[in-house]
Structure 1
């Protein structure tokens, strides 16, 4: 049976005051341009409409907008203290052996030196080893290739965070 009513979490998001909605979006993605674009398209009839708007906004981010978005993400293996979102997303590194933690620290620093920003990957559901292997593989990319991979990974992260925002009761 298909429901035509807006899911409660999405209805609550649609009803938020503009500043509260912007804050919620900005917590999902640190790009002001992305959050502003999603805010301007409210109300959303379905979560899928919101996700499609997010995908379109992510695709249109400038290099500067991407840099702003990436600045909101802590390095893999070092979630922001007191931030349950980054801790949950980086669960694959929780309790990792010391040698894996040391490898990730070294790889994160090498990646950041090469590209000028944090290594961004949709860490949800990935093991520490998978994330280590991904940074090893991606560090050889050109800056242009890496920017597009980052854009794709950011889009995945944004969808997961938006789903949590509008599907929670």
Structure 2
């Protein structure tokens, strides 16, 4: 949707549009309450700042909606469709190692492994998972929150179309 449409949505509809980005009530409310935004970049900056103080409980609540890495999200929800589009396909051996890593991660940290999968190969995800298994719980909580912030911002960026260039603005370097 374009930014003007997002800015004009009734509050409940705007919240429903933002919630699949990260189902953290206070963040959704903050992003929606910040409207109207003058440009998509101001929306993304506001969302990034609002996500800076996510607590462990916020992250855990949002993770309740995330499938394990390597598992395909099911259902017709916006969040499930976004997740399916973010995770790369993996070769059988890599997929098996990711599955085993997920089990080890959940045993160690008590939650699902979360990584920004968009733009990463299955092998890169496996390497990240393996590396993060060595983290202490406090460090891993910080890393997980950062990964969730990245996912939320990428999803929000995809939700709102880029701004149309102002036809009255001069192109860079133009002589008049």
* TM-score where L is the length of structure 2: 0.85
Question: Larger Rg: 1 or 2?
Answer: 2
Paired with 1:162 and 1:39, the residues of 2 have a C-alpha distance of 12
Q: Which residue of 2 aligns with 1:86?
A: 83
**Where do 1:1-169 residues align within 5 Å?**
9-82=2-75, 83-90=80-87, 92=88, 94=89, 96-167=90-161
Paired with 2:100 and 2:143, the residues of 1 have a C-alpha distance of 21
| Residues 40 and 162 in structure 2, CA contact (< 8 A), matched pair in contact too | no
CA shift for structure 1 position 68: 1.1
Structure 2: runs of 5 or more not aligned: 164-176
Paired with 1:33 and 1:115, the residues of 2 have a C-alpha distance of 25
Cα deviation code 1:119-153 (max 9, x no counterpart)? 11110111100000100000110111111111221
Paired with 1:87 and 1:111, the residues of 2 have a C-alpha distance of 21
**Number of matched residues?**
159
Paired with 2:10 and 2:45, the residues of 1 have a C-alpha distance of 22
| Residues 122 and 153 in structure 1, CA contact (< 8 A), matched pair in contact too | yes
Paired with 1:89 and 1:168, the residues of 2 have a C-alpha distance of 20
Paired with 2:3 and 2:149, the residues of 1 have a C-alpha distance of 19
* TM-score where L is the length of structure 1: 0.88
Cα deviation code 1:4-57 (max 9, x no counterpart)? xxxx71111111111111111111111112111111111111111111111112
CA shift for structure 1 position 72: 2.0
Root-mean-square deviation (CA, aligned residues, Å) is 1.6
